[in-house]
Amino acid sequence: MIDIVCGGQAGDEGKGKISAYLSYKGDYDYCVRVGGPNAGHTVVKDGKSYTLKNIPSGFLNPKTKLVLGAGAYTKTEWLLDEVKFTGTADRLIIDPYAVLISEEQTAAERNAAHFMKHIGSVGTGLGQAVRERIERRDIKYAKDEPLLKDYIQDVPELLNKSLDNGGQILLEGTQGIKLSLLHGEYPFVTSRDTTASTFLGEAGLGPKSVRDVYVVFKPYITRVGPGPLEKEITDEKELEIYHTKGHEIGSVSKRLRRIGEFEMRSASRAIMINNCTKIAITHMDMFPGNDHVKNEADFTPEAQAFLARLRALSKEVYPHPQIALISTGPDMEDTLVLK
């Protein structure tokens, strides 16, 4: 069966932590990542922090094999650095048609005012690489890089054979629905769709074997670049709390994130379009007095009120998901599982 992790906001929701937790506590044969290095995922285990641009966050489970699908974009040197950092050379599998971003593509993106100023690109070269792929340019694939030859396998065949034999797959999506090229707040979007359906296609998987779709939310919303925030927070003292305690600094861009209040309307669309079956909430410790809470009954009234609002929303929106996971601190173990 397949479980999918998606972002319900504008990225930076904590998908890395949720993916790492599910993989570490679960029994997945494969953890698959799609998307590009413009979106970093951060995992904290036993006080040690890992920020990953390419390697799936499920790497902490030594039994789980790590896969980059055809919808993945990377740079060879960045990927190999992460392989060394995580010690995962014996578990990494790469689709031959994953794209390798060139220095020329990165330079072209950084020199383009449209990318950098108007839509707030983080300048990794992903947007330019996607553009050239769409234009059928002579781009470089993983299969073309000798340094990656030992990792190349037919990912769709591998994953679907695993499913046929009862295998378990965790599909780790990137960014969030408000950044989707199709369903986001155009033109302040990324270069691809960022919903569960597209993540499946980018990995070479179909919908038949999907068990659960986790959509991840924070009790507030952040943006690294330009774009609408319905109720943006501008008070400097309040922002400082988010930027320090909440670590609201872009993991790739290193920019301070803009902060806004939780948007119920956009959350309902994230639930609907992704066909969310389970909600995961991160950063609940940003409500004062909720650090490292281990039982839902121990949340403060403010936090309880937020959960009640989200539950009321889920009753109104198909497919009526339940809140399944709540994070109350940065470490992977600061996670409540709700039955």
pLDDT of residue 55: 96
- Please tell me the distance from the alpha carbon of residue 149 to that of residue 146, in angstroms, as a whole number: 5
Task: Decide: 180 and 7 in contact? Cβ < 8 Å.
Answer: no
Please, what are the averages of pLDDT over each run of 10 residues along the chain (339 residues)? 98 94 96 87 87 93 98 96 96 98 89 67 85 94 98 99 99 96 94 97 98 98 89 91 82 79 97 99 96 96 98 98 97 93
Q: With residue 15 as reference, give the H or E element that holds it.
A: helix 15-25
**165 labelled ligand-binding:** no
Verify whether residue 183 is a known catalytic residue. Answer: no
Predicted confidence at residue 118, as pLDDT, reads 60
Give the pLDDT of residue 253: 61
> Does the annotation place 64 within a ligand binding site?
no
Residue 119 is predicted with a pLDDT of 67
User: For position 168, which CATH number holds?
Assistant: 3.40.440.10
Amino acid 47: pLDDT = 85
Residue 184 known to bind ligand: no
> Is position 160 annotated in a ligand binding site?
no
190 in a known ligand binding site:
yes
Using alpha carbons only, how large is the chain's radius of gyration in Å?
Answer: 19
Active-site choice (41, 95, 183, 334): 41
Please tell me whether the overall predicted TM-score, pTM, comes out greater than 0.75 for this model: yes
256 is in an annotated binding site: yes
- Distance CA(101)–CA(37), nearest Å, equals 9
Q: How many folded domains does the chain comprise?
A: 1
3-state secondary structure of 130: helix
Q: Which of 12, 29, 95, 193 is catalytic?
A: 12
- pLDDT attached to residue 166: 98
Measured CA to CA, the distance from residue 95 to residue 101 in angstroms comes to: 15
Domain ranges, residue 175: 2-337
Q: Clarify whether 320 is annotated catalytic.
A: no
Task: Measure Cα distances from 162 to 23, 114, 168, 305 in Å.
Answer: 16, 43, 8, 42
Decide the pairing of beta strands 258-261 and 41-45.
Answer: unpaired
Q: Is 38 annotated as a binding residue?
A: yes
Helix (H) or strand (E) holding 305: helix 301-316
> Cα–Cα distance between 123 and 115 in angstroms, integer?
8
Q: What is the structure's pLDDT at 251?
A: 61
Q: Which helix (H) or strand (E) holds 16?
A: helix 15-25
What was the pLDDT predicted at 246? 83
Query: What are the backbone angles phi and psi of residue 214, rounded to the nearest 5°?
Result: -90, 125
Evaluate whether 159 touches 171 at the Cβ level (below 8 Å). Answer: no
Buried b (16+ CB within 10 A) or exposed e, 278-291: bbbbbbbbbbeebe
| Ordered DSSP codes for 169-219 | EEEE--S-GGG-TTTSSTTS--SS--SHHHHHHHHT--STTEEEEEEEE-S
Closest CA to 166 of 232, 196, 211, 227: 211
